[in-house]
Chain A
Amino acid sequence: MKATSLAKLLGLLLALVLVAAACGSDDDDTEAGDATDEATEESTDDDADATDDDGAMEEDEDAAPADAGACAAGNINISGSSTVEPISTKVAELYEEVCPDTFVTVDGPGTGDGFALFCDGDTDISDASRQIKESEAETCAANGVEYTELLIAFDGIAVMTNPANEAVSCLSFADLYALLGGQSEGFENWSDASDLGASLGSDVAPYPDAPLDISAPGTESGTYDSFIEIVLEGIAEEQGDEQLIRQDFAGNAQDNVIIEGIAGSDTSLGWVGFAFAEENLDRVKEIQIAAEPGGECISPTVETIADGSYPVSRGLYIYVNNAKVAENPALAGYVDFYLGDGYTEGVTRAFGDSGYVELPADLLGEAQAAWESAK
């Protein structure tokens, strides 16, 4: 009697596991078939957006068997900037078609977190939306991690407001400092910054009398650091302002949340990676930027970012651990592909239809040369 009730209890638990297992085995079967589906699916994708790049891609695929020696089986761990993550992911997907035995894991906790892992020797590649900081480089050196820095693409930072905010269409660095710099702390209204802006020579001030709702990245984000470095730092130094940026807004690491914040207020102000803003042009308006008050107002576009005329743009980097390249042949193959056959599609199609701005040929050549000499 006692034995049967215990057996029933166990039986029920087992049944539960089996039910879960039955659902699971279904997935398992389809997954097995999916590996082939995946290949066909992606190749039809490529055909669908037939461009010059794809022509090149197909040739490369044909050429792949000749390169098969470079296709080593192995695992690659990548972490770092969430801005660069889509590029590394896209390149990994493309590389998987060529070298199915290389498993690439890509995570995007942020540039700073990425370097923390990288300098501990945990990751093979660190994605970064800024160059490595001195303090981070010291950690790497202390742990004996030697690396190669490779510039891989450009990304503009889009300064945004709500599409309903017609009063603001072009701001200079001076205006952005007046509204967002260290001295602006406590300004709850655009017009609070008018005097400061005017004293910096702004031609846009006085600003509209409307609530200033800031929606921007937080300190863990490379986009936050880059914005300070490119836009605010210069004026802050002239002003003797050591704080650089106001601390009284809640930064957010998630680009979607920043976009929501911009869309949520008619008189919002904030910034985010160019590609993210472009994906959401129905909800946010990109503000034109002039480096100097009275200077030429320039909209962020692929062209203005690539030729450097848009003032708020930055380089995107990958950092490769040299020691890991020597011991993991799969890593060398992946980086070769990153800067080679997978480059154009990886960078310009990082988000499917859109992506980042490719390096001009000379800078890409420099990156390739740096990589060749490092490996």
Chain B
Amino acid sequence: MALIEPILNKKTAERVEAQIRSGGRNTPNLLFQGSLLAALLFALFVLGVLLFDVITDSWPVLSERFGDFLASPKRSSAEASGVFQGLRGTFWIGVAVILLTFPLGIAAAVYLEEYAPDSRLTRLIDINIRNLAGVPSVVYGILGFTLFVSLFNGVLGDREITLGRTTTAGALTLAILALPVVIITSAEAIRAVPDSLKEAAYGVGATKSEVIRSHILPYAAPGILTGTLLSLARALGEAAPLILVGAVQGRLGSRTGFFGLEQLGERFTAMPIIITGYAKEPGSDWIPVTAAAIVILLLVVLSFNAAAVLLRNRFESKREG
């Protein structure tokens, strides 16, 4: 009896009625909505300022010598400098991440979700991978230095030329950095596959591997793709691990072409490193060059993000259709 009394209370009834009549637009509600909007606008504003600043700074370079800028290495004069070697390094790092991390990460995720017994060990592994994903990237740089530069010194390229600091060492380091994120996102996408779907497949006599190939992976594909491409974008934007692995910030003596495989055993640089190198140069004529390099890196990373969104939408619409 006491429970229903408040609703019968006249005051409450009035308030409820007022709220319904006003369509929920009372002041506290509006304030709350407004503050959420402000948070969004603030984030967009910061992004907008950054983009505006970088693009206006870089315009002289991008509008006047875009092709030349993409095709030139770093030189002593700002007017002749470009991002060729950085793009080249970033491309090969991307290739390594795609070829190594994606299959390894997805396979590990499938094992963890579908095969691993629900034991203490599995849970320990799971927690460890989650922690690894949060480890600062510099730590991966130290790992990469110990593992690929010192240990594989001379194996990944001619030691006299590279000191062990090769494109391969850099690419492997970033591949390791991306691996935990790929495993986690893939595992989550696989976990989200409805049990009814799997049970239906088992019901018609499919084996476990058939279920994984024909039902789980295709259904989880959008989620896996989004996660993997986002982790790729993150790996391509990393500078700190590469600095430790010995990416060259200054002049890189190499004229290997964009696809020349011999560079895997040569010293290297990458877009974020090139940007750091340009930012350190004295004199105002380097500002547009630095900004232009930032724009190019943003374009590379954003295009991967856009690809992730497009692919996800495609897969999702297919799944529903």
Contacts and interface: CB of A to CB of B under 8 A. Distances in A.
A28 B258 contact: yes
A21 B87 CA distance: 11
A90 B248 contact: no
B268 to A, nearest CB: 10
Interface stretch (B50-58, B118-126, B172-180, B276-284): B276-284
B80 A27 contact: no
Mostly, the A contact residues are helix
A93 interface: yes
Contact of A93 (B76, B281, B282): B76
B167 interface: no
Contact of B95 (A17, A37, A45, A276): A17
Contacts of B134: none
Interface in A325-367: 328, 350-352
Contacts of A328: 160
Contact of B282 (A17, A21, A276): A276
B78 A280 contact: no
A94 to B, nearest CB: 9
Contacts of B94: 20
Mostly, the B contact residues are helix
A218 to B, nearest CB: 14
B255 interface: yes
Interface stretch (B13-21, B35-43, B189-197, B213-221): B213-221
Contact of A27 (B252, B255, B258): B258
Contact of B258 (A25, A351, A352): A25
B307 interface: yes
Interface stretch (A74-82, A130-138, A144-152, A182-190): A74-82
A255 interface: yes
Contacts of A351: 76, 282-283
Contacts, number: 136
Given A6-B213, A17-B98, A279-B283, A107 B221 contact: no
Most chain-A Cβ atoms within 10 A of its Cβ — which of B258, B279, B311, B314?
A: B258
B218 A24 contact: no
Interface stretch (B1-9, B23-31, B64-72): B64-72
A75 B161 contact: yes
B34 interface: no
Contacts of A2: 210, 213-215, 218
Nearest to B253: A103
Nearest to B246: A107
Contacts of B251: 89, 92-93, 104-106
Interface string A246-289: 00000000111001000000000000000110011000000000
A319 B205 CA distance: 74
B48 to A, nearest CB: 23
B84 interface: yes
Contact of B218 (A9, A31, A85, A259): A9
A34 interface: yes
Most chain-B Cβ atoms within 10 A of its Cβ — which of A27, A45, A106, A109?
A: A27
A9 B314 CA distance: 11
A105 B283 contact: no
B70 to A, nearest CB: 5
Contacts of B282: 255-256, 259, 275-276, 279-280, 351
Nearest to A93: B76
A27 B77 contact: no
Contact of B71 (A34, A77, A122, A259): A34
A5 interface: yes
B160 A75 contact: yes
Contacts of B255: 35, 103
A107 B280 contact: no
B130 interface: no
Contacts of A106: 250-251, 253
A28 B218 contact: no
Contacts of B279: 254, 256
Given A5-B218, A105-B267, A255-B282, A90 B71 contact: no
Nearest to B213: A2
B59 interface: no
A104 B98 contact: no
Contacts of A5: 214, 218, 221
B146 interface: no
Interface in A50-103: 75-77, 82, 85-86, 89-90, 92-93, 96, 102-103
A28 to B, nearest CB: 4
A255 B281 CA distance: 8
A24 B91 contact: yes
Contacts of A77: 161, 163, 267
Given A2-B213, A31-B84, A122 B258 contact: no
A255 B286 CA distance: 13
A16 interface: yes
Contact of B250 (A6, A37, A89, A117): A89
Given A1-B214, A107-B249, A13 B98 contact: yes
B75 interface: yes
A123 B213 CA distance: 51
Nearest to A1: B214
Contacts of A21: 259
Nearest to B201: A2
Given A2-B210, A12-B311, A351-B76, A27 B250 contact: no
Contacts of B78: 352
Given A2-B215, A6-B217, A109-B249, 12 more contacts: A13-B98, A13-B102, A24-B87, A24-B259, A28-B259, A30-B68, A77-B267, A104-B253, A105-B251, A254-B279, A255-B280, A351-B283
17 contacts: A21-B259, A24-B259, A27-B84, A28-B259, A31-B84, A33-B71, A34-B71, A76-B253, A77-B267, A85-B250, A93-B75, A103-B254, A107-B248, A256-B281, A279-B282, A280-B282, A352-B78
Interface of A: 1-2, 5-6, 9, 12-13, 16-17, 20-21, 24-28, 30-35, 37-38, 41-42, 45, 75-77, 82, 85-86, 89-90, 92-93, 96, 102-109, 117, 122-123, 254-256, 259, 275-276, 279-280, 328, 350-352
